[in-house]
Structure 1
Amino acid sequence: MTPPVTPAQQDGPAVADTAKIPRSRGSRPSLGLKLDVRNLSLLGVLAVLIAVGAITKPDQFIAVSNLQLVLTQTSVIGVVTVGMTFVIMGGGIDLSVGAMVALASVWATTLATQEYGFFGILFTAVVVGLGCGLVNGVLIAYGRMVPFIATLAMLASARGLALQITDGKTQLVNLKSVLDLGVRDNYPLGIPPLALVFAGVTVVGWLLLNRTTFGRRTVAVGGNAEAARLAGIDVRRQRLYLYLLSGLCCGIAAFMLIVLSGSGQNTNGDQYELDAIAAAIIGGTLLSGGRGTIVGSVLGVLVFGTITNIFDLNNLQTAPQQIAKGAIIVVAVLAQRSAVRDGEA
């Protein structure tokens, strides 16, 4: 006669399976530590770059005016990078951010728009950015288009529309309330207003990613869209929200660029998509989605901005600068692959 099976024996296989859990959980702190180390490494790289700039051009690099310039220039692409970080973490990509910035900047600087004053320009830039993001999101989430193709189409369309609006000419801004934000003498406590905007967007982005269900859903969708769907997450709606967020950031960046240059041009935002993707990657955001940090992306922006400034101060050509950026991207991607392999071990 077969002896009765005890509850302990019935749970035997489950106990055996759960024995693996501590090992899998143990890998997460290890991977998290690697991400923290990457951020510390980026801080180290930034410190080295600052030292190089201070040594090669001591009088110019450490001048307050130059530091203000670096903060101002990195702030515009920094805001775009925050939006790009969310998109990549959600398993997508956005190649149209530069074109969206250009279109928003020229649409917001037409004579008809300037008649509505400061808030008219700001409102138009943001709405145009959101509109472009909405088109991208609908095509990708509900039209089931590949993000690469959909955003590439937006890139071409937005650039073409920006060129048609301007007819290849520069649209100057004649509103003192807008231009005054870019005057160095008006900086509060010596901090550029654009840097304050970038800081505000960064804080909101960090809170959104780390303290809300929106951030958790973004990570879930980017890590495994099917698992997220089975868990009750509306994957298509989440992807739509991500591209809307990217468009919003582009609209804000377009207004910042208008303040910085005092004009709207169809060439604005040139190569912003490459710079934003590169900054996010070296900051620890996985191209495959599901992992990344806002802090890392911001550090990536500052690293690239400092490199550009050092090259400019030393009158070096653009080619070596692009080569240096490319090398940094390759090293960052290789480091990502190593971290993922160690995390899955």
Structure 2
Amino acid sequence: MSDGAAQISEPAVTDTARPRSGRLTFTRLFQQFGTAAIFVLLLVLASTQSDAFLSERNIMNVLRQMSGIGVMAIGMLFVILTRGIDLSVGSIAALGAVSSALLIQEYPLPLALAMSLGIGAACGAISGVFIAFMRLPAFVITLAMMTAARGLALILSNGQPIMPGSKGAPLQAFGTGFTLGFPNPALLMFVLFAVAFVVLNFSRFGRLVKAIGSNEEAVRLSGISVPRYVLSVYVISGILSAIAGILVTARSGVGSASVGVAAELDVIAAVVIGGASLMGGRGGVINTFIGVMILGVIGNIMNLAGVPGYHQQVYLGVIIVAAVVMQHGSQVFRR
């Protein structure tokens, strides 16, 4: 029987591999470099539309504005790699912003920030337990967490902006300051992307996260505790979302429950534009960073061009779809 199986399977490989080898090579190349090509094309188009685009002040402004989305996108990448989704990132960011502003008033700054990160981790852990151990749909669970976290942020703040007071001055100085010529929030984003790159590409944890998204059953049969790793990525997402909220408080000097409204859409869009597959197992840190920058450039150039806010949403949606089609279209048409 094994000989018969070999005779059946062998022609299938040779018949399909030869005519498609060129297309497969192109597909792999575009998956690897397509996001960067889209980004370069956008930079060229943006520079032709406005002389102010390539100014140092404008570039630093884009980096500062996208730092929160970028930090959340790291956590979303880890979640999506396991074939999950996290719709609660924006609401957890709001909870992080409000809790940090409140806790800074009562506790030393390092402790207050650590407690805020702990709240974000707890939100991620709650979602992760239901998803990983109870096998409930990530969409439903994180949607519930999105509502609950936003509601908790509104309750804690009583629907009003929270001022950290004088104890929050060092945090605000960090949020508005520069180091080595870069905005501090952007530098923190760079550091977190670098850490994520090392973890995802050079650690056992990162390899298993990708493997779970590619073939969860094979990982389980090899003796790995899949639920523990799935839980971990939601905890990571919760912590990074809280960091994003703290960065908003640091930049604005105010903790508000309105932080991160609809941010989950931008975060998911950035990760998908970066080439990550919502089916899990495929995605990279560098491309995710480029996806974040693509969103930032699109929004910035429309602001410089004076495009009205409501129109921007329509154009942004069209551009996101176009970018995703360019990134994944070769696979779709190949089918």
TM-score, normalised on structure 1?
0.86
State the Cα RMSD in Å: 2.7
Asked if 1 retains the 8 angstrom alpha-carbon contact of 2:127 and 2:234, the reply is yes
1:118 to 109, 114, 118: 109
Residue aligned with 1:264, SS: coil
2:315 to 307, 319, 324: 324
Q: Cα–Cα, structure 1 residues 270 and 116, in superposed 2: closer, same or farther, change >3 Å?
A: same
Higher Rg of the two aligned structures? 1
Q: CA deviation at 1:264?
A: 0.7
2:39 to 37, 46, 49: 46
Asked if 2 retains the 8 angstrom alpha-carbon contact of 1:39 and 1:283, the reply is no
Residue aligned with 1:289, SS: coil
Asked if 1 retains the 8 angstrom alpha-carbon contact of 2:299 and 2:316, the reply is no
Q: Cα–Cα, structure 1 residues 20 and 239, in superposed 2: closer, same or farther, change >3 Å?
A: farther
Residue aligned with 2:189, SS: helix
For residues 9-40 of structure 1, the C-alpha deviation after alignment (integer angstroms, 9 at most, x for no partner) is: x9745765785798699989976863543453
Which position in structure 1 is the counterpart of 2:27? Answer: 34
In 1, the alpha carbon distance for the partners of 2:304 and 2:137 equals 41
In 2, the alpha carbon distance for the partners of 1:51 and 1:118 equals 43
- Tell me if 1:169 matches 2:188: no
1:190 to 157, 177, 181: 181
In 2, the alpha carbon distance for the partners of 1:109 and 1:128 equals 13
In 2, the alpha carbon distance for the partners of 1:39 and 1:198 equals 22
Q: Cα–Cα, structure 1 residues 188 and 334, in superposed 2: closer, same or farther, change >3 Å?
A: closer
Q: CA deviation at 1:179?
A: 1.3
Q: Cα–Cα, structure 1 residues 107 and 208, in superposed 2: closer, same or farther, change >3 Å?
A: same
Asked if 1 retains the 8 angstrom alpha-carbon contact of 2:130 and 2:141, the reply is yes
Corresponding pairs, count: 331
Q: Percent identity?
A: 34
Which position in structure 2 is the counterpart of 1:7? Answer: none
Which position in structure 2 is the counterpart of 1:148? Answer: 139
- Tell me if 1:304 matches 2:295: yes
Which position in structure 2 is the counterpart of 1:203? Answer: 194
1:219 to 210, 221, 226: 210
In 1, the alpha carbon distance for the partners of 2:115 and 2:99 equals 7
Which position in structure 1 is the counterpart of 2:306? Answer: 315
Q: Which amino acid aligns with 1:54?
A: S
Asked if 2 retains the 8 angstrom alpha-carbon contact of 1:121 and 1:255, the reply is no
Asked if 1 retains the 8 angstrom alpha-carbon contact of 2:94 and 2:258, the reply is yes
Q: Cα–Cα, structure 1 residues 62 and 333, in superposed 2: closer, same or farther, change >3 Å?
A: closer
In 2, the alpha carbon distance for the partners of 1:212 and 1:29 equals 33
In 2, the alpha carbon distance for the partners of 1:210 and 1:339 equals 25
5+ unaligned residues in a row in structure 2: which ranges? none
Q: Cα–Cα, structure 1 residues 245 and 264, in superposed 2: closer, same or farther, change >3 Å?
A: same
Asked if 2 retains the 8 angstrom alpha-carbon contact of 1:39 and 1:299, the reply is no
Which position in structure 2 is the counterpart of 1:4? Answer: none
Q: Which amino acid aligns with 1:78?
A: G
In 2, the alpha carbon distance for the partners of 1:213 and 1:101 equals 28
Asked if 2 retains the 8 angstrom alpha-carbon contact of 1:137 and 1:243, the reply is yes
Asked if 1 retains the 8 angstrom alpha-carbon contact of 2:96 and 2:243, the reply is no
2:49 to 52, 56, 65: 56
Which position in structure 2 is the counterpart of 1:84? Answer: 76
Which position in structure 2 is the counterpart of 1:67? Answer: 59
Which position in structure 1 is the counterpart of 2:231? Answer: 240
5+ unaligned residues in a row in structure 1: which ranges? 1-9
In 2, the alpha carbon distance for the partners of 1:71 and 1:192 equals 8
Q: CA deviation at 1:295?
A: 1.2
Residue aligned with 1:129, SS: helix
Residue aligned with 2:143, SS: helix
Which position in structure 1 is the counterpart of 2:257? Answer: 266
Asked if 1 retains the 8 angstrom alpha-carbon contact of 2:83 and 2:278, the reply is yes
In 1, the alpha carbon distance for the partners of 2:324 and 2:38 equals 16
1:285 to 262, 269, 276: 276
Q: Cα–Cα, structure 1 residues 191 and 20, in superposed 2: closer, same or farther, change >3 Å?
A: farther
Residue aligned with 1:109, SS: helix
Which position in structure 2 is the counterpart of 1:104? Answer: 96
- Tell me if 1:179 matches 2:161: no
Q: CA deviation at 1:203?
A: 1.1
In 1, the alpha carbon distance for the partners of 2:184 and 2:49 equals 29
In 1, the alpha carbon distance for the partners of 2:12 and 2:252 equals 55
Q: Which amino acid aligns with 2:146?
A: L
